[in-house]
Amino acid sequence: MPRDLQKFPGVVAAFEEGVARGLHTGLQIYVSVDGVPLLNAGLGDATPGRPLTPDTLMPWRSAGKPLTALLLLKLLRHPESDLKLPLSHWLPAAADSDKAELTLFELLTHTAGFPTTDTGWPHASWDESVRTALQTPCQLPRGTAAYHPQSSWFLLGEVIRSLVAPDNPQVNSFAEILRHRLLSPLGMLNSSCGIPHHQQPDIASRLPLLYERQQGRSEISPAAGPPWLVSPSAGGNLRGPVSELGAFYEMLLLQGRSYCGQTFADSHIVRLMTTRHRTGMLDSTFRHIIDFGLGIICNSAMYGPDTVPYGFGRRCSAATFGHGGAQCSIGFCDPEKRLVVAWAANGFCGEAQHQRRNQMLNEAIFDDIGL
């Protein structure tokens, strides 16, 4: 066992229990305090006979949403006022839809009444997904708290494209813009939004098998291969080593700076993103009260530490923020404890099983590092 894992017996035990219960075969985890990595490890198998390592390219799913949110905020000239402009200001195609007057603020705080429609992703193209998101009528009254898993994020990604593509037509896909404007500047060189076909032969040994629960049994998930592996989704298909997701949160911990001293985003942008903007509202998707910043979840343990979905653990400070990925991952930062955590498992094990796993792993991290 690697030396750093020897200092995390609770994490190892929680992982091994998940293996015994058929929830996953592998886990990747990163933990740092004040930028100093305490744990950067892979546990178990990525595929039968091949270990999962810190370099394995893991699915983050919705844990990647905060990256899209921060890039959007960074691109806005006047974020506080621009967030209140109607969607039709950014996307002329929205003018004839019932989403014309929705604001970026409402989309980022999940209060737009947006439909949880299937856009056709990953079989549909980006443009087709955007059209479906615009044309599907809103299902809830505007102002309703309801988490949007995917569809609205295609529109946020399209707004990012509208802000960048006119000035740089050579880099005009969302995945390319994210790589050039956020991932590369932050040194997240192994992370991407979808993995293009031409890159897959070179990284085949770093891709894990993914599993999902079907009628109580663990089956190989199609999300491990095309088209899920390839197609970009601004709210649900970032992949990479979780140490790079951890680096993103370390930058937020330092209010927009890296530990090398480089500034990526102004501190007021980070504060704007991580401030509680939606408070005390029952989320009709999660069926639980959850507070949101802008594209990021604020610690909501005060509404039920054992029941809040994708929580950060009982001992995180109230200032903690982050985001989980559906049935597989989470990343968060506790600024008071100077703690950053990111982990991802290769098993989509169902919501109830994942919430138990999420709670066990996050509590084990606090036990093992003595916080």
Contacts with 38 (C-beta within 8 Å, 6 or more apart), sequence order? 4, 7, 31, 32, 369
Residue 142 domain flag? no
- The pLDDT-based confidence of 229 (bands split at 50, 70, 90) is very high
Residue 279 domain flag? yes
For 349, the domain range is: 3-59+244-369
Report the pLDDT averaged over residues 144-160. Answer: 96
Residue 188 domain flag? no
pLDDT tens digits for range 168-217: 766 789 999 999 999 999 999 999 999 988 888 889 999 999 999 888 78
Residue 308 domain flag? yes
Residue 283 domain flag? yes
pLDDT of residue 238: 97
Residue 43 domain flag? yes
Q: Given a cut of 70, is residue 1 above it in pLDDT?
A: no
Cβ proximity of 26 and 41 under 8 Å: no
**Among 25-29, 49-53, 211-215, where is mean pLDDT lowest?**
211-215
Residue 335 domain flag? yes
Provide the residue type at 165 as one letter. A
pLDDT of residue 214: 84
130 CA to centre of own chain: 20
Sheet-wide strand order for 297-298: 50-51, 36-47, 26-33, 339-345, 329-334, 321-325, 297-298, 291-292
Q: Given a cut of 80, is residue 165 above it in pLDDT?
A: no
Task: Quote the radius of gyration of the chain (alpha carbons, Å).
Answer: 19
pLDDT of residue 117: 83
Per-chain mean pLDDT for the chain: 95
Tokens of 71: 């890039």
To the question of pTM greater than 0.75 for the whole model, the response is yes
- How many domains are there within the chain? 1
Residue 84 domain flag? no
